[in-house]
């Protein structure tokens, strides 16, 4: 089976830049064919990618999803027969619908040949509102069907603008991983790990770790500290799942490290945030990243490799979620 990676995105979002980065930094040892679906007659993107020494196949004057559907199937068959690649990267036309490109890849003639792998949509945060307003049907479709959404030009957007874009994206697709870290801060291998879901520390991973933890040391820690479940408003005999809560959030914000340490110390204040037994996460601070681990009376903060976005997970009892969210908003 040949892996199919589809990297979509509206006009000028940065698709070709991303593909070149993946080829140069991560996929240079694989046998790759890139299929460029240009809407015009000149394959500018294909010319750029050919400098990477990769085989390029170009389809012009239409979209894979409509007038070129038959040409696309024939092209795929020819590519596999001639080059036997391990991976085919498809860069659809910027005005194409991702759902239709997926449909073209799933035609009967290709089902036993292709394995749909990465589904990445690149979104320019600076042009999000304009494209969403003027080209809604095409723009939204690309976001809705992606497994990974990579936001480009985040380093040029204000915190408020970035948060607004994230909220709108989550209304369209609340399942995809949204990469908010600037592209230049992530190497190609990291991006592929994110998109393929290999050993990526997602918020869901952190939440699951917390759920496991609350059935062991967290429960004992709480009982030692409070002696009775009544302190948490519960009766004796309840299962840990009925006593403890988990709260988490993803954030693209850049924090001040010293203020973050001070805010982590505030997790000790039960009157404000509830009983916090465990906190962990990854956050960007200025030009670096940190990983923090909190248990009552102890805070560990250490340097970390860049993540695709900041992640925070808190476990405890009677959590004040509004206060926790306030603590981890932008710290100036």
In the three-class reduction of DSSP (H, G, I as helix; E, B as strand; rest coil), residue 180 is classed as coil
218 domain residue, yes or no: yes
Q: Is residue 332 part of a domain?
A: no
Same domain, 190 and 286: no
Q: Are 66 and 110 in contact (CB under 8 A)?
A: no
Q: What is the pLDDT of residue 212?
A: 62
Q: Domain of 286: which CATH number?
A: 3.30.1220.10
Contact 320, 274 (CB under 8 A): yes
Mean pLDDT value across residues 82-100: 86
**Least confident range of 215-229, 248-262, 309-323:** 215-229
Residues 159 and 302 in one domain: no
Residue 191 included in any domain:
yes
Residues 180 and 235 in one domain: no
Q: Choose the final residue of a domain: 138, 171, 196.
A: 196
Q: Are 94 and 10 in contact (CB under 8 A)?
A: yes
> What mean pLDDT comes out for the span 258-274?
90
- CB-facing half-sphere around the CA of 175: CA atoms within 13 A: 7
Same-domain pairing of 183 and 253: no
Alpha carbon distances (Å) from 287 to 182, 229, 300, 308: 11, 44, 19, 14
Instruction: Name the pLDDT band for 42 (thresholds 50, 70, 90).
Output: very low
Helix 136-144 vs helix 159-172: angle between axes, to the nearest 10 degrees? Answer: 80
Residues 242 and 175 placed together within one structural domain of the fold: no
Q: Is residue 149 scored above 50 in pLDDT?
A: yes
* Boundaries of domain holding 247: 203-327
């Amino acid at each position: 089976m040949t892996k199919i990676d589809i990297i979509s995105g509206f006009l000028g979002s940065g698709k070709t830049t991303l593909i070149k980065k993946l080829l140069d930094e991560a996929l240079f040892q694989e046998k790759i064919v890139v299929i460029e679906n240009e809407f015009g007659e000149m394959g500018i993107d294909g010319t750029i990618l050919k400098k990477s020494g990769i085989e390029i196949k170009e389809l012009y004057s239409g979209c894979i999803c409509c007038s070129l559907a038959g040409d696309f199937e024939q092209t795929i068959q020819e590519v596999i027969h001639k080059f036997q690649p391990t991976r085919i990267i498809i860069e659809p036309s910027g005005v194409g619908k991702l759902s239709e490109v997926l449909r073209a890849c799933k035609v009967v003639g290709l089902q036993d040949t292709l394995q749909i792998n990465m589904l990445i949509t690149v979104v320019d945060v600076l042009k999000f509102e304009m494209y969403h307003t003027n080209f809604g049907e095409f723009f939204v479709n690309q976001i809705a069907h992606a497994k990974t959404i990579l936001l480009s030009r985040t380093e040029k957007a204000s915190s408020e603008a970035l948060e607004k874009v994230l909220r709108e994206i989550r209304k369209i697709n609340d399942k995809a991983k949204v990469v908010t870290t600037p592209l230049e801060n992530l190497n190609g291998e990291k991006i592929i790990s994110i998109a393929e879901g290999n050993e990526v520390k997602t918020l869901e991973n952190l939440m699951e770790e917390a759920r496991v933890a609350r059935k062991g040391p967290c429960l004992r820690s709480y009982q030692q500290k409070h002696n009775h479940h009544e302190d948490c408003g519960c009766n004796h005999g309840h299962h840990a799942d009925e006593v403890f809560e988990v709260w988490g959030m993803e954030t693209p914000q850049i924090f001040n490290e010293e203020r973050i340490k001070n805010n982590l110390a505030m997790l000790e204040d039960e009157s404000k945030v509830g009983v916090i037994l465990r906190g962990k996460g990854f956050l960007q601070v200025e030009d670096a990243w940190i990983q923090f681990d909190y248990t009552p009376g102890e805070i560990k903060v250490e340097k970390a490799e860049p993540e695709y976005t900041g992640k925070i997970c808190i476990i405890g009892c009677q959590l004040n979620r509004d206060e926790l969210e306030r603590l981890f908003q932008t710290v100036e």
